[in-house]
Structure 1
Amino acid sequence: MPVLVMKFGGTSVADLARIRAAAEKVKREVDRGHDVIVIVSAMSGKTNELVGWVEQTSPLYDAREYDAVVSSGENVTAGLMALTLQEMDVPARSWQGWQVPIQTTSQHASARFVDIPRENIDAKFAEGMKVAVVAGFQGISPEGRITTLGRGGSDTTAVAFAAAFDAIRCDIYTDVDGIYTTDPRITSKARRLEKIAFEEMLELASLGAKVLQTRSVELAMRYKVKLRVLSSFEDTDDNSGTLVCDEEDIMESKAVSGVAYSRDEAKMTLVSVEDRPGIAAAIFGPLAEAGVNVDMIVQNISEKNYGTHTTAVTDMTFSLPVNQIARAQKALEDARTSGSIRYDELVGDTDVAKVSVVGIGMRSHAGVAAAMFKALAAEGINIKVITTSEIKISVLIDRKYMELAVQALHDAFALDAAA
């Protein structure tokens, strides 16, 4: 039988009624002739509760025991889903990560997949099982310990199973009915996309869109797994939701497919850094060692007069998550104290936001940057930093203008209209 992977997030299995509604969707696919692998998250709010218990018990906790505790939420959901399907006369059984076994690395709380052997589940399918309900977010290390994959890991589990079992598709059921041109809470003109390319979805996910976890999109793109995002709270058919697929599967693309934003951004500038070979490494090396995620970088070179001589200096500006600014300040101040870098001043700005336009159509459409900058200028929005890639343009602006910028760009590129 063809295999279909179905993943249900926490809100989709928040209580017994929702688990039953999800099970009815699974039964419908079984009745259509599929063998189904269901990946489940913990019931809504349960993982946060478990994490809280761990932190209250042991602030400096053992990561191995952390994983043992927080992985239990998915185990509960898997068992309840299997029981519900059995009550519907659907042959189903639950699988914890170690029973598959889902083989991962040893990095607790952020493990990565090594292998998903098919033999155990295939054997049960051959015996008549129609649904394997697998606890997402977890696996087993080479040392035989339970591991977890980090937040959003159930999405990644679903894609990994779809790749391992050559599934016809991986359906991600969530609390939204697809992927939109932008956040519908910001503009009512946001439109659900029928299809979006892997590259576009990867950019949107990394730039702030929270529908899919970034690692899951990376995995889907690598193994050419077709993803479909759809609502668990609505009746669905083959045309529901948004299909994430290869660029070749999309007939025609607009220049811009979506507008993403990230509110929790900060900007730092090192003023009058000596301009010399290796200065960028001297700045960003300590930041990397401190675990600071640097994004946008701008360098402005000028000259500084020291009376007897003139020296080339540079102002180095970069963006980073706002919750990492204290860590970045300490790393750079330590680097200055050690003498590895010299600068006059370190200026931080925690009141900025990043707004981005994304689209594979940029490869064949000229003038996207000009249209973007013109739209922002018309609203009186000043741009602080700009970065570009082949299918993305991002700008850093004052946070108070973020929603206005999203609305203006959505209108400028007519994203409310289909291609």
Structure 2
Amino acid sequence: MPVLVMKFGGTSVANLDRIRRAAKRVGVEVAKGYDVIVIVSAMSGKTNELVGWVGETSPLYDAREYDAVVSSGENVTAGLMALTLQQMDVPARSWQGWQVPVRTTSAHSTARILDISPDNLMAKFGEGMRVAVVAGFQGVSPEGRITTLGRGGSDTTAVAFAAALNAERCDIYTDVDGVYTTDPRISSKARKLDRIAYEEMLELASLGAKVLQTRSVELAMRYNVKLRVLSSFEEQSDDAGTLVCAEEEIMESNVVTGIAYSRDEAKMTLLSVADQPGIAAAIFGPLSEAGVNVDMIIQNISEDGRTDMTFSCPTDQVARAEKALKDAVAAGNIDYGDLIIDGAVAKVSAVGIGMRSQSGVAAQMFRTLRDEGINIKVIATSEIKISVLIDRKYMELAVQALHDTFELDKVG
């Protein structure tokens, strides 16, 4: 039988009533003739509770035991979902990551999937099982220990299973009914997209849109897995939600597909840095080793052998970045005159595959911000993206204005 993967996030399985609702959706797909892999997250709030307990028990915790604890939330949900399906006379079994097995690296709490062997699942399907309820977010290391994939890892689990079992589609059920042109909470004109290209979804996810985890989109693009984002709380039709697919499957689209934002950004500037070969590596190497996620980078014109270097990073990584830079100075690897930190900025981005063949998008974006009296602090571009750093207080105004400028409320 054809295989379908269905993933239910924490809000979709937050209590027994919601688990029953999700199970009914699974039952509908089984009735259509699918063998179904159901990937479940922990109940809403449960992972945070487990993480809190670990921190309270052992502030300098053993990462292996951390994974053993926080992965248990998904195990509970998987068992309850399997029991609910059995009550509906749907042959179902729950599976933990190690039972499949989902083989991962040994990087506890940030493991990456190496391989999923479908043999055990396919054997059980052959014996009459119709639904395999798999605990998301977890796997097993080469040493035989439980590992977890990082927050949002259940999305990655779902896509990996769809690729491994050559599933017809991977449906991601969340608390939203699809991917929108921007956050509907900011712009009332935000429009749900019927389809979006992998590359556009990857950019939007990395730029702040929280509908899908970035790694799951990367995996879907690599293995050409069709993703569909749906709401757990609305009645579904065959064309519900948003399909994330190859660019070739989208007939026509706007030049700009969506406006993304990231509220919690910081701009850090090193003044009077020695302008010499290797200075960028000397600065950004320690930042990388400290786990600082550097985004935009601007280097000013050199004067008297000195230059200024500006970069952005999430606000919660500023202290880590500051320490890494000071340690690099103490080690004699770099020197600079001063470090200026602006922690009140936001990143706003326009994304669209149409930018490849359409000129003038950047000029239009910059004019719109100018007309709204919004000053641009940093600019970064790629083939299908333009991002700017602006004062955080203007973020919502910028999103609304750009959404209107590019007429994203209209189709094609």
TM class by shorter chain equals over 0.9
Structure 2 counterpart of 1:329: 322
* Equivalent residues of 2:94, 2:134 under 8 A apart: yes
The answer on 1:375 being equivalent to 2:389 is no
Q: Shift of the alpha carbon at 1:342?
A: 2.2
Q: Which residue of 2 aligns with 1:307?
A: none
What TM-score, normalized to structure 2?
Answer: 0.99
Alignment of 1:165-184 (within 5 A): 165-184=165-184
For normalisation by structure 1, the TM-score amounts to 0.97
Could you tell me how far 1:345 is from its partner in structure 2?
Answer: 1.2
CA distance in 2, matches of 1:132, 1:415: 40
The alignment's C-alpha RMSD in Å is 0.8
Q: What residue number does 2:234 align with?
A: 234
Aligned to 1:320: 313
Conserved in 2, the CA contact under 8 Å of 1:275 and 1:301? Answer: no
Q: Deviations over 1:369-388 (max 9, x none)?
A: 00000110010000000000
Cα displacement string for residues 284-337 of structure 1 (whole angstroms, at most 9, x for unaligned residues): 11211222111001111142xxxxxxx232111100111111121122222223
In structure 2, what is the Cα distance between the partners aligned to 1:118 and 1:52? 34
8 Å CA contact 2:181, 2:257 repeated in 1: yes
Please tell me whether the aligned partners of residues 253 and 411 of structure 2 are also in contact (alpha carbons under 8 angstroms).
no
How do residues 13-412 of structure 1 correspond to structure 2 at under 5 angstroms? 13-303=13-303, 311-412=304-405
**Sequence identity of aligned pairs in percent?**
79
| CA–CA distance in structure 1, aligned partners of residues 134 and 331 of structure 2 | 51
Aligned equivalents of 1:6, 1:401: Cα separation in 2? 39
* Greater shift in the superposed pair: 158-167 or 294-303: 294-303
1:207/1:260 contact within 8 Å kept? yes
SS in 2 for 1:189: coil
* Conservation of the 8 A alpha-carbon contact between 1:301 and 1:312: no
Native 8 Å contact 2:259 2:402 kept in 1? yes
- Report which stretch shifted further, 225-234 or 101-110: 101-110
Displacement of 1:101 after TM fit?
A: 1.0
Deviation for aligned residue 1:274 = 1.8
User: SS of the residue aligned with 2:301?
Assistant: strand
Aligned residues: 412
Shift of 1:195: 0.3
CA distance in 1, matches of 2:286, 2:80: 48
Unmatched 5+ residue regions in structure 1? 304-310
Q: Give ranges in structure 2 of 5+ residues lacking alignment.
A: none
**How far apart, CA to CA, are the structure 2 residues paired with 1:42 and 1:339?**
47
Q: 1:13-61 CA distances to partner (integer Å, 9 max, x unpaired)? A: 0001000000000000000111100000001111111111111111111
